[in-house]
Structure 1
């Protein structure tokens, strides 16, 4: 039996012949059959993606697309990049079908859903703009000379941006949250890039095909029944006395999921427990037999607190490394000494570290509550 490999894996020099899937499919240009190749891979510091390449041997039509390999993010993302050097032009860009691109210096915008998703670079985005504007220019010069001259002038402005005579801003906004620009200095702070998450409105959810249970019930005229496998079904069983709260505390539940590292099917174990001096939490552990990845997550068993909290810890002795740490998805971490920032920009894995209790260092911790 051959070696079992993850579903999504990195492209490396040790894997010169990556596993691709070939599918015979219809060419939309000439109507003959061509070949679509699918490659499942991972982009560092981003997520799993599916690369699709179509090639028709009859009319030589080619098309390349990219689709996210995971679920749609809970929030949209807006990325601002200040392009100043050649290194910025060489940054990798991953964009989806729902990505809009703006260049304020040119008063130029590529609307959402006007282009297919792709993996490219900042310079590649500019080159695609030039290619799109250059199409049919010879015909325009004959039939609409003034419009062609204006387009030629705009193409020259886009071309000049690549000369980096003056810095310019590139803004990418994606309601699906599946857009990414690489940081050449990762994991250090990227001074030229800002990334912000935003909450989608109902119209944007509908554009992505996301509907609530109530909206589905309104369309179908039927009420969705609660299943015993869902959280709502479990709570209903508790309310009806079929499954007591004490039983839940002593029970380890299992449910199927996909590995966050390679996307292969695996099982997640879930158990409720009580952390001393804190609150009840839900611990979830996932072990992937395919790639060996192990993750541990902790979710709060109670509601959201009325105030946020800011905690400053001075790490000065080895015992400080053994402190228990519990953090949520919305936690923001900053270590000034190494200029490390990370947190609510993208959800973290929550880690509960079981170590020795701190001894005599309570004065090194400061807690401060604030209104949300």
Structure 2
């Protein structure tokens, strides 16, 4: 047996998208050598993809598939599209390897393993489904007529969809978050599209190859070194929410004196320059809400550290400022910094104040309000009262006299009502007696409602 030189590796520059790259590859039908063409391209308002097409000149066999050129998204995605007419059938569509497709009215679902990634249109996707279903019909017609008739009815329904004779709803469920349906109304939201992001289950992570062992590796490394202290900063890979380029998220667990532990997360993208930060409160859920009232009497109060959680509302009665919970998300900054962030958000995200339909009086009042807010942040309009109302007690305002009481600050604890707990999802949390019936679980709410009814009567 003679030694043979190993074949030299083939290197393909996929980023040179001036023309497709060609690679000689084996045809799986006739076992002769065919040609695979690969093109690296970017879909507008989506991401970069790799399109691969195989053609065999010997037997005429053709095949094509699509692969995402980027990393998995942090969450899975469900995209639903209401298809009504030829225009919707022409929507460009990307289905990744891990996506399932469902025709809602037919209750017909195509699992992820049925076809590899595709770049097509909704009409083309329906054609693929018809082709797959029709492949075994001649055999079924002679072996199982009942199944044949049922599948034939589905094929006829899909044909009506493909010809635009009947409206339907198409749903793509992709655990990798890399599927896409064209938005016909860009840059506005398409009313026929419904996009929902969700946290992946452990089974979905395993399906994507994201094993729990890899996620637990940092914990195992810390345990091996015998270091029980909280690391200074933890970094883990992520994707930029703006350009989807690989980036890093830094996380730090911080203990605020006289308060509790909080988790500070910051993401910075080196590709597009986007930066974001978020603060999450650690520890258990407080049994009571908290209302913090600060009388700002001098500029020193503006330098107090403040943690406003995502469930906290903020108000300054003197200038008619009131922010509902969820505005700005979680922030850890100073009082001055928070007020300036509020000013910038209101100035940038209220575009209707700049339109032609806005009256001069409304625009004048709005500008006066922003001017008052700027004066408070600059320390030119004091005294004013700052009120933080957090039903989960996860917000904090620095006490300059700690551990003694602050004469300018009042902290009140209060019991949350049932409606607040319901909005926060706390009524569905059950930590004890898991086997009780659902009716027993809702008894406290029923007693409260009956008590309210008696008071009204």
TM interval, short-chain normalised: 0.5 to 0.7
Q: Residues 190-201 of structure 1 correspond to what in structure 2 (within 5 A)?
A: 190-201=190-201
Q: Determine whether 1:115 maps to 2:115.
A: yes
Per the alignment, residue 98 of structure 2 pairs with 98
Q: Is the 8 A contact 2:73 2:239 kept in 1?
A: no
User: 1:56-71 maps to which residues of 2 (within 5 A)?
Assistant: 56-71=56-71
Q: Secondary structure at the match of 2:341?
A: coil
| 1:82 CA drift (Å) | 1.2
d(CA) in 2 for partners of 1:281 and 1:78? Answer: 29
Note if contact 2:93-2:122 (Cα within 8 Å) is conserved in structure 1: yes
Residue 324 of structure 1 is matched in structure 2 by 341
Q: State the match for 2:275 in structure 1.
A: 296
* Aligned-partner SS, 1:39: strand
What does residue 132 of structure 1 align with? 132
- The answer to whether the 8 A contact 1:80-1:195 is kept is yes
CA contact under 8 A between 1:268 and 1:287: conserved in structure 2? no
Cα distance, 1:336 vs structure 2: 8.5
Shift of the alpha carbon at 1:283? Answer: 6.0
Counterparts of 2:389 and 2:280, CA distance in 1: 22
Q: Aligned-pair distance for 1:66?
A: 1.1
1:358 to 374, 396, 400: 374
For structure 2, the 5+ residue unaligned runs are 1-12, 253-261, 287-309, 314-321, 324-338, 354-372, 378-383, 392-419, 426-457
- Change over 3 Å in CA distance of 1:236–1:183 after alignment to 2: farther
Show the counterpart of 1:174: 174
Is residue 215 of structure 2 the alignment partner of residue 212 of structure 1?
A: no
Distance 1:100 1:326 in 2: 44
Q: For residues 32 and 185 of structure 1, do their structure 2 counterparts lie closer, same or farther at Cα, with a shift above 3 Å needed?
A: same
Partner of 1:348: none
In 2, distance between residues paired with 1:358 and 1:236?
51
Q: Give CA deviations for 1:231-255 in whole Å, capped at 9, x if unaligned.
A: x79x999959xx9x7xx9xxxxx99
Structure 1 CA distance for aligned equivalents of residues 69 and 141 of structure 2: 44
Would you say the 8 A contact 2:14–2:38 is kept in 1?
A: no
**1:261 CA displacement:** 5.3
Give the corresponding residue for 2:331.
Answer: none
Give distance in 2, aligned partners of 1:213 and 1:177: 22
Higher relative contact order (Cα pairs below 8 Å, separated by 6+ residues) = 1
Would the aligned equivalents of 2:127 and 2:162 in 1 still touch at CA under 8 Å?
Answer: no
The change in CA–CA distance for 1:310 and 1:186 in structure 2 (over 3 A counts) is: farther
Secondary structure of 1:324's match?
Answer: helix
Q: TM-score, normalised by structure 1?
A: 0.61
How far did 1:193 drift? 1.4
Which segments of structure 1 move beyond 4 Å, counting only runs of 4 or more?
136-150, 214-217, 235-240, 254-264, 267-272, 279-288, 299-307, 310-313, 333-338, 360-363, 365-370
Q: Displacement of 1:118 after TM fit?
A: 0.5
In 2, Cα distance between equivalents of 1:165 and 1:31: 42
2:203 maps to 1:186: no
Q: In the alignment, is the contact (CA less than 8 A) between 2:94 and 2:120 conserved in 1? A: yes
TM-superposed CA distance for 1:27, in Å, is 2.1
TM-score (norm 2): 0.51
Shift of 1:116: 0.8
Conserved 8 A contact 1:8-1:262: no
Query: What CA deviation, in whole Å up to 9, does each residue of 1:249-293 have, x standing for no partner?
Result: xxxxx99999985969xx989899xxxxxx9967665555xxxx4
The whole-number CA distance in structure 1 between the counterparts of 2:141 and 2:236 is: 63
Q: Over aligned residue pairs, what C-alpha RMSD do you find?
A: 5.0
Q: Supply the distance in 2 between the matched residues of 1:224 and 1:255 (Cα, whole angstroms).
A: 12
1:243-282 equivalent positions in 2, closer than 5 A = none
Matched position secondary structure for 2:172: strand
Rounded Cα–Cα distance in structure 1 between residues aligned with 2:154 and 2:280: 57
Aligned residues: 303
Greater helix share, 1 or 2?
2
Shift of 1:132: 2.0
Label 1:216 to 1:151 Cα distance change in 2 as closer, same or farther (>3 A). same
Q: Is the 8 A contact 1:280 1:300 kept in 2?
A: yes
- For 1:326 and 1:63, the matched residues in 2 are separated by 56
Checking the alignment, whether the CA contact within 8 Å between 2:237 and 2:249 is kept in structure 1 is no
| Shift in alpha-carbon separation, 1:207–1:255, aligned structure 2, 3 A | closer
Measure the CA separation in 1 of the matches of 2:48 and 2:276: 20
Instruction: Give yes or no for contact 2:249–2:268 (8 Å, CA) kept in 1.
Output: yes
| Alignment match, 1:29 | 29
